[in-house]
């Protein structure tokens, strides 16, 4: 694998430190943060990918393999899930075995900034809750697009800050107060740390990379027909594009 730059290594170490203690509770934490909407958001993102009837799909930031398993269960595609945190992948492999999907889903260690695959390997690619954890979202999008064949679909899911002032205020209070407390009560210190981090992380990301800039970055990465769907009163963001050149 290509050597990471110093800043990339720092981001990688941070993400590993954040997520290594929580794989057994990760899916529950995501449901807390999404107000129980994560499953609906995932379904929407996967639907955008399966419209193209892909044979081989890459799921980046696969975590505990929730998206990879849904792609496999809803199609005949084979899925390669990639994540940098080995503890999350161990839990993901348990989930794959439990679902009886070992023939359809393979999980490997890797980073989104330097994917260990050749150009145009996959028919489609998904990534979930990723761009807040990389130093250069634009460069990462270019790398993600690189491994998708021309004409292949890329789809993503992210948290979003609601635009409506009333909902934004409620979201801010929830992420700064309720979420950390819920994390501590249900998962201890590790969850408390994650709960305290997530809200400010989401806000900071969209100050740096608002949705309009994110769409621009997708296009700069060689993705066309970029679509944006805000979900659940603006708390979730599903995006979909197609690699140019078909």
Q: What average pLDDT does range 49-63 have in this prediction?
A: 95
Residue 112 lies in a domain: yes
Residue 182 lies in a domain: no
The DSSP bridge pattern shows strands 105-109 and 122-128 to be unpaired
- The proportion of the chain whose per-residue pLDDT surpasses 70, expressed as a percent, equals 83
CA-to-CA distance for 244 and 246, rounded, in angstroms?
A: 6
CB 156 within 8 Å of CB 88: no
- CATH number of the domain that residue 78 is part of: 3.40.50.150
**Each residue of 171-228: pLDDT tens digit?**
898 888 877 777 677 667 766 777 788 889 899 999 999 999 999 999 999 999 999 9
Q: What average pLDDT does range 26-46 have in this prediction?
A: 76
Number of domains in the chain: 1
Residue 79 lies in a domain: yes
The per-residue DSSP string of the chain comes to -PPPPHHHHHHHHHHHHHHTT-GGGHHHHHHHHTTT-HHHHHHHHHHHHHTT--SEEEEET-TTTHHHHHHHHTSS-EEEEEES-HHHHHHHHHHHHHTT-TTTEEEEE-BTTB-SS-TT-EEEEEEES-GGGSS-HHHHHHHHHHTEEEEEEEEEEEE---SSHHHHHHHHHIIIIIHHHHHHHHH-HHHHHHHHHHHHHHHHHHHHS-HHHHHHHHHHTTEEEEEEEEETTTTEEEEEEEES--
pLDDT at 12 over 50: yes
What count of other Cβ atoms lies within 10 Å of the Cβ of residue 241? 25
Expressed as residue numbers, the domain containing 28 is: 6-162+209-243
pTM of the model: 0.85
pLDDT at 8 over 60: no
Residue 15 lies in a domain: yes
Query: What pLDDT shows up at residue 188?
Result: 72
**Each residue of 67-114: pLDDT tens digit?**
999 999 999 999 999 999 898 899 999 999 999 999 999 999 999 999
Q: Which structure tokens are listed for 170?
A: 């409620």
Query: What pLDDT shows up at residue 244?
Result: 96
The DSSP bridge pattern shows strands 122-128 and 56-60 to be parallel
Residue 181 lies in a domain: no
Residue 170 lies in a domain: no
Query: What pLDDT shows up at residue 2?
Result: 32
Residue 77 lies in a domain: yes
**Each residue of 131-161: pLDDT tens digit?**
998 989 999 999 999 999 999 999 999 989 9
pLDDT at 11 over 60: no
């Amino acid at each position: 694998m290509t050597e990471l730059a110093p800043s990339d290594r720092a981001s990688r170490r941070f993400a590993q430190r954040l997520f290594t203690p929580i794989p057994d509770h990760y899916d529950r934490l995501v449901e807390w943060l999404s107000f129980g909407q994560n499953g609906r958001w995932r379904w929407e993102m996967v639907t955008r990918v399966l419209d193209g009837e892909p044979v081989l799909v890459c799921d980046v930031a696969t975590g505990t393999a929730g998206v990879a398993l849904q792609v496999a269960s809803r199609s005949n595609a084979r899925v390669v899930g990639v994540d940098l945190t080995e503890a999350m992948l161990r839990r993901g492999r348990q989930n794959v075995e439990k679902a009886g999907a070992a023939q359809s889903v393979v999980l490997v260690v890797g980073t989104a900034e330097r994917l260990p695959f050749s150009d145009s390997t996959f028919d489609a690619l998904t990534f979930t809750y990723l761009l807040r954890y990389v130093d250069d979202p634009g460069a990462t999008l270019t790398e993600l697009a690189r491994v998708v064949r021309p004409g292949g679909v890329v789809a993503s899911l992210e948290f979003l800050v609601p635009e409506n002032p009333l909902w934004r205020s409620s979201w801010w209070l929830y992420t700064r107060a309720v979420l950390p407390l819920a994390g501590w009560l249900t998962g201890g210190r590790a969850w408390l740390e994650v709960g305290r981090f997530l809200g400010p992380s989401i806000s900071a990301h969209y100050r740096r990379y608002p949705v309009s800039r994110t769409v621009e970055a997708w296009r700069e990465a060689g993705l066309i027909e970029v679509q944006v769907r805000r979900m659940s009163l603006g708390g979730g963001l599903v995006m979909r594009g197609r690699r140019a050149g078909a």
